[in-house]
Amino acid sequence: MEVDHIGIAVRNLTDALRAWEPTLGTNGSAPEEVPGQRVRVSFLETGALHLELLEPMAADSAVGRFLEQRGEGLHHVAFRVPNVDEALADLARRGGRLVDTVGRPGARGRRVGFAHPSAHHGVLVEFVERP
């Protein structure tokens, strides 16, 4: 599998973009709301590195709770898969712990699904459907 992007939880997307843009020498994408995850996201892409900055839209959202418990920082690693439902089913068959049993709408119009952070040393794993 190839890494699609790395997700970083931030308290404030505007502040985070101001911090990351000079470091990476590129501008973030226009902020996008992902209602299913109750986050606002922006992507920064430079070479093979694609970062997703995630700001919670509510304190009781998954990312809001993550920030409360752990603070800002690495939230998930996303891998490209040809079919997100199959990737989740394959992982379940291998005994993996899933957050989603089927894909759901994610950022940039792509279907995504998540595997549980407790199985990966606190790091959430995302599958992104990208044929």
Binding site for Co ion (CB under 5 A): 7, 52, 78, 126
- Please name every residue paired with 26 in a beta bridge, in sequence order, or none if there are none: none
Residue of minimal Cβ distance to Co ion:
7
Q: Closer to Co ion at the Cβ: 10 or 78?
A: 78
Q: What is the DSSP letter of 72?
A: S
CA–CA distances in Å: residue 43 to residues 66, 68, 102, 122: 20, 23, 24, 22
CB of 86 to Co ion, least distance (A): 19
Q: How far is the CB of 62 from Co ion (least distance, A)?
A: 12
Please state the closest distance from residue 9 (CB atom) to Co ion, in A: 11
Rank residues 95 and 110 by Cβ distance to Co ion and give the closer one: 110
User: Contact 20/44 with Cβ under 8 angstroms?
Assistant: yes
For residue 94, the minimal CB distance to Co ion (Å) is 22
Nearer to Co ion, 78 or 115 (CB): 78
Query: Which H helix or E strand runs over 73?
Result: strand 73-81
Beta carbon nearer to Co ion, 93 or 121: 121
Identify any residues that bridge with 78 across adjacent strands, giving them in sequence order. 5, 126
